[in-house]
């Protein structure tokens, strides 16, 4: 059976949506991919995927985006049964608590019994070439974990 990866993103001004689109472009020739905006994502169905990649910005004072809150709360009730996952996101070093939503989601997905297969990646605003390399590396780690 072909593996399936769900890419879930939160994005207000488009950066993280673009990263999610880039990930899909990287992965789609190798695995089935589906991209879901985070307010539409069903935490209780995550373990139906072989892997999940969450892409998020950070908002307020180092907090999750508002539209990610329900997903995050639901995750606390979920047993991911070792579903593989990775987390990344563009946020901004101009704010305190740089990229803390990436940390929160990484911790919660681990607590929910997911299997983290790549180090989380934080990007300062628009990704530069080195950032895209880190994004591609993360995608490669997820793919390798499914082999
Ligand atoms: C009101 C506001 C609050 C923010 N707070 C934080 C923050 O606490 N920490 C952080 O790292 N970035 C923060 N950011 C920066 C965003 O996470 C960053 O601009 C990100 O690239 C936006 O991604 P998007 O284009 O996908 O919406 C904040 C941005 C805004 C507009």
Q: Which domains are seen in the chain, by residue range?
A: 4-146 (3.40.50.360)
Asked whether 57 lines ligand 1 (CB < 6 A), one says: yes
Task: Give the mean pLDDT of 111-122.
Answer: 98
Ligand 1: atom nearest CA of 126 is 21
Asked whether 99 lines ligand 1 (CB < 6 A), one says: yes
Dihedral Cα 100, 102, 104, 105, nearest 10 deg:
160
CA distance 98 to 100: 6
Ligand 1 centroid from CA 48, angstroms: 30
Structure tokens at 93: 């070093």
pLDDT per residue over 40-96, tens digit each?
A: 999 999 999 999 999 999 999 999 999 999 999 999 999 999 999 999 999 999 999
Asked whether 66 lines ligand 1 (CB < 6 A), one says: no
Ligand 1 centroid from CA 84, angstroms: 26
Question: What residue has token string 């809150």?
Answer: 69
């Amino acid at each position: 059976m072909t593996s399936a990866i769900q890419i879930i993103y939160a994005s207000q001004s488009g950066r993280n949506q673009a990263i999610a689109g880039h990930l899909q472009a990287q992965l789609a020739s190798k695995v089935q991919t589906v991209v879901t905006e985070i307010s539409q994502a069903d935490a209780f169905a995550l373990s139906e995927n072989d892997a999940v990649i969450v892409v998020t910005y950070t908002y307020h004072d180092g907090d999750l985006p508002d539209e990610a809150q329900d997903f995050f709360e639901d995750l606390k009730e979920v047993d991911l049964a070792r579903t593989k996952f990775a987390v990344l996101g563009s946020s901004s070093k101009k704010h305190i608590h740089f990229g803390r939503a990436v940390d929160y989601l990484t911790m919660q997905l681990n607590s929910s019994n997911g299997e983290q297969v790549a180090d989380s990646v934080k990007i300062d605003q628009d990704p530069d070439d080195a950032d895209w390399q880190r994004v591609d590396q993360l995608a490669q780690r997820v793919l390798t974990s499914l082999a």
